[in-house]
Amino acid sequence: VKKAYREANLLLGDIIKVTPSSKVVGDLAQFMVQNNLKSEDVLEKAEDLSFPKSVVEFLQGAIGEPYQGFPEPLRSKVLKDMPRIKGRPGASLAPLDFDKLKKDLQEKHPRATDRDVMSSALYPQVTDEYLTFKETYGPVDKLDTRIFLVGPKVGEEFEVTIEKGKTLAIKTLAMAEDLTPNGEREIFFEMNGQLRSVFIRDKEASKEIHLHPKVDKSAKGQVGSPMRGTVIEVKVKVGDTVEKGAALVVLSAMKMEMVVQAPIAGKVKSIDALVGMKLEGDDLVATIE
């Protein structure tokens, strides 16, 4: 990965790395490792590859123009006829109405603060997901990292300080063997000496095996997933006419978004990816005829 990071950095023009430019380099490096690409492969196949969204936006000028300019011919090969931003990106943005943003945000999340409004202005989707999570599960920031990520072991005791002078003593007692029809398992525990239970969905036990069709690389119009990820957006529907390089679906994995592009021009014959679907590399995404 470190070798790929160096190659990705040079491909992008040895850019100055701060957030978010360092993420651009990291996304490209990760993309190269996942698809077994060297720098010469990237340059040779740039017109046909579906690059991470952050890389495409960087080359469009969405985070500004790098010192000594954009890398060519990579930029022209990747963007083709995509729009480019000239000058400072913020100069062309419409003024933001913070009062309206705050009103809209608090309609959905009544306890949203001014800090949340600022976060939403910068990262609207991430902020919405974060606030929804907090409203669903409560102040999980009070939990130790391991307890939050992995969960307590049976028989383990731990404490949670929810406010000054108020600490909960929790002990996990047992886990039911049988699942409910909804795929939930009852968990028994003590909280400050009182017996409690809660039903938790067992994600592993309730998993179903889905055999997703794989792309036939010999078939010119079949489009496969370039990496493992979750489908977050489908941009076309069956019957649409698309040009070569048109966006078909958007995948997300490990904080990286990738736009899967049409390898040829034609009509969309089928869409094999739905929003929320988890795909593996080379899973069939769409077919174009």
Give the pLDDT confidence of 241-287 residue by residue, as tens digits: 999 889 999 998 877 888 999 999 999 999 999 998 889 889 999 99
The predicted pLDDT at position 206 comes to 55
The matching CATH number, chosen from 1.10.150.20, 1.10.10.60, 3.90.180.10, 1.10.10.10, for 94-137 is 1.10.10.60
Q: At what angle do helices 21-34 and 53-60 cross, to 10 degrees?
A: 130
The predicted pLDDT at position 207 comes to 57
* 205 has a pLDDT exceeding 80: no
The domains spanning 141-201 and 222-288 adopt the same CATH topology? no
Give the CATH H-level superfamily of domain 141-201.
pyruvate carboxylase f1077a mutant domain (3.10.600.10)
**pLDDT of 109-153, one tens digit each?**
999 999 999 999 998 988 999 999 999 999 899 999 999 999 899
User: Across residues 49-70, what is the average pLDDT?
Assistant: 94
Query: Phi, psi at residue 145, to the nearest 5°?
Result: -55, -45
Q: At what angle do helices 114-122 and 124-137 cross, to 10 degrees?
A: 140
- Answer for the pair 250, 257: CB distance below 8 angstroms, yes or no: yes
The predicted pLDDT at position 208 comes to 55
* 211 has a pLDDT exceeding 90: no
Topology of domain 2-91 in CATH is Cyclin A; domain 1 (1.10.472)
Say which residue the tokens 């078939």 belong to: 219
- Answer for the pair 118, 96: CB distance below 8 angstroms, yes or no: no
Report the 3 state secondary structure along the chain: CHHHHHHHHHHCCCCCCCCCHHHHHHHHHHHHHHCCCCHHHHHHHCCCCCCEHHHHHHHHCCCCCCCCCCCCCHHHHHHCCCCCCCCCHHHHCCCCCHHHHHHHHHHHCCCCCHHHHHHHHHCHHHHHHHHHHHHHHCCHHHCCHHHHHCCCCCCCEEEEEEECCEEEEEEEEEECCCCCCCCEEEEEEEECCEEEEEEEECCCCCCCCCCCCECCCCCCCEEECCCCEEEEEECCCCCCEECCCCEEEEEEECCEEEEEECCCCEEEEEECCCCCCEECCCEEEEEEC
Higher per-residue confidence, 162 vs 9: 9
- Answer for the pair 235, 249: CB distance below 8 angstroms, yes or no: yes
Q: Which of the residue ranges 146-150, 179-183, 238-242 would you say has the lowest mean pLDDT?
A: 179-183
For residues 82 and 264, give the distance between their C-alpha atoms in angstroms, rounded to a whole number.
Answer: 16
Q: Which of 74, 51, 114, 77 is nearest to 247 (CA)?
A: 51
* 155 has a pLDDT exceeding 90: yes
User: Across residues 65-88, what is the average pLDDT?
Assistant: 93
In Å, what is the CA distance from 197 to each residue of 107, 173, 176?
33, 10, 10
Q: Which of 110, 109, 52, 62 is nearest to 88 (CA)?
A: 62
For residues 75 and 47, give the distance between their C-alpha atoms in angstroms, rounded to a whole number.
Answer: 10
* 209 has a pLDDT exceeding 70: no
User: Across residues 185-199, what is the average pLDDT?
Assistant: 94
Q: What is the CATH number of domain 222-288?
A: 2.40.50.100
Q: Label residue 89 exposed, middle or buried (CB < 10 Å: 0-12, 13-18, 19+).
A: middle
The predicted pLDDT at position 7 comes to 97
The predicted pLDDT at position 61 comes to 96
Dihedral of the alpha carbons of 32, 38, 43, 46, in degrees to the nearest 10: -30
User: Across residues 51-56, what is the average pLDDT?
Assistant: 94
* 32 has a pLDDT exceeding 80: yes
- Domain range annotation of the chain: 2-91, 94-137, 141-201, 222-288
The predicted pLDDT at position 146 comes to 94
Q: Which of 271, 284, 278, 223 is nearest to 253 (CA)?
A: 278
